[in-house]
Structure 1
Amino acid sequence: MKYTTEITVDLPRDEFIKKLDNPENMKHWQRGLVSYEQLSGTPGEEGARMNLKYKMGKRELEMVETIIKRNLPEEFHVTYDAKGVHNIQKNYFKEEDGKTRWISESEFQFSSLGMKLMAFLMPGAFKKQSMKYAVDFKNFAEKGISVLDDQ
């Protein structure tokens, strides 16, 4: 399953990248993030691996992020691996009149029957979740609004 999301953030690209590239900021725009832990490599660099833990309602989710390409400020590509799911995310950042257009291409590969079924029955849920993170990042980056304020 593949899809693309796009959002424009009212910040110059260098400021946008500073906020996006700081792992301490993730808790402000990644709703449900409980913790992150560097597993290997140099944080933020190609090949670096980080374990991410989320709590969504009563469900707990754990995944490993691997940076596969870091060519900032133009692009940043990562993979996310969780039980039954491999997600490849290619992020592109375009400077446009002092704003930043964030284009994110997502590809999900499912290995478990349950996840394949969920993707088949609710494909829009994945794109909706990706857009939610993008909107939450936009609110944090532009206005300093943290998802932690909702808890």
Structure 2
Amino acid sequence: MKYTVSIEIALPRERVAQLLADPEHLPKWLHGLVLHEPLSGVHGQVGTTSRVVMQMGRQKIECTETITRREPVDLHGIPSESIVHFDREIVGKGMWSAVRERLIQAGPETTLWESESEYRFSGLLTRLVGLLMPAAFRKQSQQHMQDFKAFAEQGEDVREAKR
């Protein structure tokens, strides 16, 4: 299953990249995040592997995230290229996913965030979930982007919002 979602954020691309890259901000916009801890490497850098635990309703999902691409690579925190790429691979029980993020400068104070996701499932139950619920995956990805936009533009914190 593959899909792409996008959202426009009323901030310069450099600021959006900084906010997305800061692990301290993850709980403020990534609803359901219980834990995101690097197992090896430095958060956000290529090759870094992290343990990620998400709470989805009554179910906890644990997976391993590996950063597979980050371009341009910039040690000063401000990318200079017109498009920022940030890709990761996520592996969990019965599931593999690749997420390719692109931050595109749409204007001097506007960023287009495009996220392309690909999922593969193994095992009967997880394959059924993937076949029967593709719209739910897309909707969840779009919701994460909307939550980030609200956090980045207005300082809203999902931990304080009622769901």
Please confirm whether the aligned pair reaches a TM-score higher than 0.5, indicating the same fold: yes
The 1-side partners of 2:98 and 2:41 are apart by 19
Alpha-carbon distance, 1:42 to partner: 2.4
| 2:91 maps to which of 64, 81, 93 | 81
What RMSD in Å do the two structures reach over aligned CA positions? 1.1
SS in 2 for 1:63: strand
Match of 1:91, as an amino acid?
Answer: E
The 2-side partners of 1:99 and 1:31 are apart by 24
2:105 counterpart residue number: 95
Unpaired runs of 5+ residues, structure 2, are 73-78
| 2:119 maps to which of 96, 105, 108 | 108
Unpaired runs of 5+ residues, structure 1, are none
2:13 counterpart residue number: 13
Alpha-carbon distance, 1:113 to partner: 1.4
Equivalences, count: 151
Alpha-carbon distance, 1:150 to partner: 2.0
The 2-side partners of 1:42 and 1:18 are apart by 15
Where do 1:39-58 residues align within 5 Å?
39-58=39-58
SS in 2 for 1:139: helix
Q: Aligned pair 1:147/2:158, yes or no?
A: yes
Which structure carries more helix by proportion?
1
Alpha-carbon distance, 1:148 to partner: 0.6
1:3 counterpart residue number: 3
Runs of 4+ in 1 over 6 A off after TM superposition: none
Alpha-carbon distance, 1:43 to partner: 2.2
Match of 1:42, as an amino acid?
Answer: V
Tell me, yes or no, if the aligned pair for 2:23 and 2:43 is still in contact at 8 Å: no
Q: Aligned pair 1:29/2:43, yes or no?
A: no
Identity between Structure 1 and Structure 2 (%): 38
